[in-house]
Structure 1
Amino acid sequence: MTAPVRPPGQADAAVAGSGPAGAVAALVMARAGYRVLLLDDGGHSSPRAGQAGFKIGESLPPAARPLLRDLGLLDGFLAAGHPRSTGIYSAWGSEELHGRSHLFDPYGHGWHLDRLRFDAFLRDAAVAAGAELRRATVLDQLGRRLIVRERGTATVTELHCRWTVDATGRRCVIGRRHGHRRRQDRLVTAYTVFRDRHPADQHREHREDVEARTLVEAAPHGWWYTTRIPAGRLVAYLTDPDLADPSLRTPQGFWRGVARTGHVYRRLEGYDPASAPVPCWAPAHGLQLSPAAGPGWVAAGDAALAFDPLSSQGILTALHTGARAGQTVAACLADAGRTADELADYTEFLEGIAAAYRRHHAYAYDQEQRWPSSPFWRRRRTGVKALPGIA
């Protein structure tokens, strides 16, 4: 491939954000022969000291296997030894626990990711492909200039690039300047990690969870899920902010909330309530950016589409949109005359994902009918419209 002609100091593309979507976008463009800056803002771990070494967003479904293979990443990913996920147990629509196995999935089992290692693996792959990793946080975009703050020195500088991929997650630093975001609801999550007390507890837990499945349990004002991760046992509660018990912000209150569940609580046998740090809180509602692409920029990952965690599709969607965003920008750089068509195709691709998500989301929540007077379930059964405006 002939090296592209660019002004001195200018990159062909910059990727704002080095999570799964950003790293894969950078990987694809670098392999196409373009000079790519991958901007890493350092947000790789939980903001709470007690949650160090963990990042939420830990499920990767079996359908990721062919995508990782197409990206040339499957062998390296499998070698990392992420724990297998063989399906889901759920108490949803009744108190009885039902199982859904990956046994008959054509792609095999899924994975419980160690997100910090997984994200680092993708960043390393992008750098190996030729992307230039830069420790900086994007503050703004002005035409072809990106305003960034350098990590370490806190110096604010300008970077010049022909195209930018916004992979800044729900912050959507660049995309929100160009479009508006439709919020699906106001779902939030409170989560914490219970550490293993000693090796014997961990071995017992592995025997109890021999099928290595995530467990989901509906509750009167939201739902819970729990899964094994390398750091211990993750427990998360999903609800709306106006319905959240303030005591959930303390370890003791969170434990009392877990104790009111049935199946989730039983998964915590052998864990010390005192081992859990103060719970973290994060937004978990669906979001869609419109438009999600325009001349000189595209959004990928949560910046373009963010999903309710019930879908278990967040990381897979980040990988898919990151790869497609990288292909789109590479095509526009190769032939500027095709920019409008490429952006239209990318927009159609995103809308297809969003439409399928909305159908599955509505169906899933409609299956839970036990609490007809609960505001949480009533809001979702009645098909609440996406809220307009900036989220």
Structure 2
Amino acid sequence: MSTALAPGTDTYDVVVAGGGPAGCAAALVLARAGRTVLLADAGTGPPKVGETLVPAGRVLLGDLGVADRVLGSGHLPCYGSLSAWGSADLHAVDFINDPHGHGWHLDRRLFDRRLRDAARAAGAEVTEGSAVRAPARTPDGGWTLVLRGGTGPAGTRSGGERTVRCRWVIDATGRAAAIAVRCGARRRVGDRLTALYVPLEADPLDTDRRSLVESDEDGWWYTAPQPSGGRLVAYFTDADLPAASPTAHHFHRRMSATRHVSRWVHRDGPPPTSPAAPRRAAAHTAHLDTVYGDGWTAAGDAAVAFDPLSSQGVLTALYTGLGAGLAVGARLGRAAQGADSALAAYAEQVAAARSAYLRGHRVIHAQEARWIDRSFWARRLADLPGPSRRPREGPSTS
């Protein structure tokens, strides 16, 4: 679909849809390269809590020139992790041996806001609360887009709709991949993983800054301290299994049955008599069949989304955002002949990252062989070679 450009429409080289780590990284790269950039942050959806940035994240933030600015006060250091996986015993990974130092339990709102501030300081225009809608091609090969809600240039506009024009669109809208899917890309979903999570109040006895993972027969548990105080507890299972019941009773009953998570959560006494019901968030593995097309490129979860067990979510968002920004910048600066080579190289980088993730994903799930007759584990072990990893047909109920 193409459309004529309305008089007075604001024009940019690139519009980045999505103000998370991927979108901000892309906007930073492009703005510093002298491109005119509009970064539109919809600011919708539930707050992202419980996320950890691994030590290598400092390298990517350093490449973007924002490490000190973004990783200042407000986050908690993460000194390592504990896991009860494949057995009931705890195993520790200590970041003291990591050349990049410790990781971070992120305050995602603060983290993302600092990234957007850095993009603004680099020269990008940043709109808050602005959803990108109605992408349409113009006769000259560009785009018109409608921004709904939020602020305009220098914060002078609010609410309503605003039409903008650009040469290129970067889709950093998360797992929905709203722009890419509208442009014809297909979303490939690898599993049905969902997260049920509950934030808990601060406990003065809780001073451990490590994260903890513990598997059970229908999924796995995760708990970590929060920068705002308190602790997050999350359970990951497939959305179609009975274990995914969102009731407070079911969630806390299962949590109390764990060997390690329950002790961390209830250090100072028995569980509450009126526990909170868990919230739900998507956690499935997914990717696009193509991460770029005519006039658009996808980054972050829009391009490829990993199981949270990998702890690679924020890192991959920064990596793909940086790569997308460099590729689009190169594409806009080249003549037609060979113009897509940078985008093709970016697509290969994303594919390589996904392949590495899948190899690691198979290895880690193969280490848990206690419940291979349960649906959650059978699904993840089905493609592994060898008779010891061939799952038996088993029940899918608790």
Determine if the TM-score, normalized by the shorter chain, exceeds 0.5: yes
Tell whether 2:256 aligns with 1:259: yes
**Contact map agreement 1:195 1:276 (CA 8 A) in 2:** no
Residue 179 of structure 1: aligned partner: 185
Residue 148 of structure 2: aligned partner: 149
Mapped partners of 2:54, 2:278: distance in 1: 26
Residue 169 of structure 2: aligned partner: 164
The residue type equivalent to 2:189 in the other structure is R
Match of 2:127 among 122, 134, 137: 134
Mapped partners of 2:324, 2:165: distance in 1: 19
Residue 189 of structure 1: aligned partner: 195
Tell whether 2:280 aligns with 1:281: yes
The residue type equivalent to 2:37 in the other structure is V
The residue type equivalent to 2:96 in the other structure is L
Instruction: Provide, for residues 51-88 of structure 1, a one-character-per-residue CA deviation record: whole Å limited to 9, x for no partner.
Output: xxx52351100111111112111121332252111111
Residue 373 of structure 1: aligned partner: 373
**Contact map agreement 2:23 2:172 (CA 8 A) in 1:** yes
**Larger relative CO (CA 8 A, sep 6+): 1 or 2?**
1
Instruction: Provide, for residues 177-201 of structure 1, a one-character-per-residue CA deviation record: whole Å limited to 9, x for no partner.
Output: 22111111111111110012xxxx3
Residue 356 of structure 1: aligned partner: 356
Q: Larger deviation: 122-131 or 137-146?
A: 137-146
| SS of structure 2 residue aligned to 1:182 | strand
| SS of structure 2 residue aligned to 1:226 | strand
1:372 shift after superposition: 2.0
Mapped partners of 1:276, 1:163: distance in 2: 48
**Contact map agreement 1:92 1:216 (CA 8 A) in 2:** yes
Structure 2 unpaired stretches of 5+: 1-7, 138-142, 152-157, 385-398
1:230 shift after superposition: 1.9
Residues 274 and 56 from structure 1, CA distance in 2 versus in 1: closer, same or farther, beyond 3 angstroms? farther
| SS of structure 1 residue aligned to 2:240 | helix
Residues 41 and 274 from structure 1, CA distance in 2 versus in 1: closer, same or farther, beyond 3 angstroms? farther
**Contact map agreement 2:23 2:299 (CA 8 A) in 1:** yes
Q: Larger deviation: 56-65 or 369-378?
A: 56-65
Q: TM-score, normalised by structure 2?
A: 0.86
**Contact map agreement 1:37 1:131 (CA 8 A) in 2:** yes
Tell whether 2:108 aligns with 1:115: yes
The residue type equivalent to 1:30 in the other structure is A
Q: TM-score, normalised by structure 1?
A: 0.87
1:382 shift after superposition: 0.8
1:154 shift after superposition: 5.4
**Contact map agreement 2:10 2:163 (CA 8 A) in 1:** no
| SS of structure 2 residue aligned to 1:121 | helix
Residues 262 and 140 from structure 1, CA distance in 2 versus in 1: closer, same or farther, beyond 3 angstroms? farther
Q: Which has more helix, going by share of residues?
A: 1
CA root-mean-square deviation: 2.0
Match of 1:217 among 214, 219, 236: 214
**Contact map agreement 1:17 1:39 (CA 8 A) in 2:** yes
The residue type equivalent to 1:240 in the other structure is D
| SS of structure 2 residue aligned to 1:174 | helix
Instruction: Provide, for residues 79-99 of structure 1, a one-character-per-residue CA deviation record: whole Å limited to 9, x for no partner.
Output: 225211111100000011111
Number of corresponding residues: 360
1:157 shift after superposition: 4.0
The residue type equivalent to 2:199 in the other structure is V
Structure 1 unpaired stretches of 5+: 1-6, 47-53, 385-391
1:267 shift after superposition: 0.6
1:276 shift after superposition: 5.8
1:295 shift after superposition: 2.3
**Contact map agreement 1:147 1:158 (CA 8 A) in 2:** yes
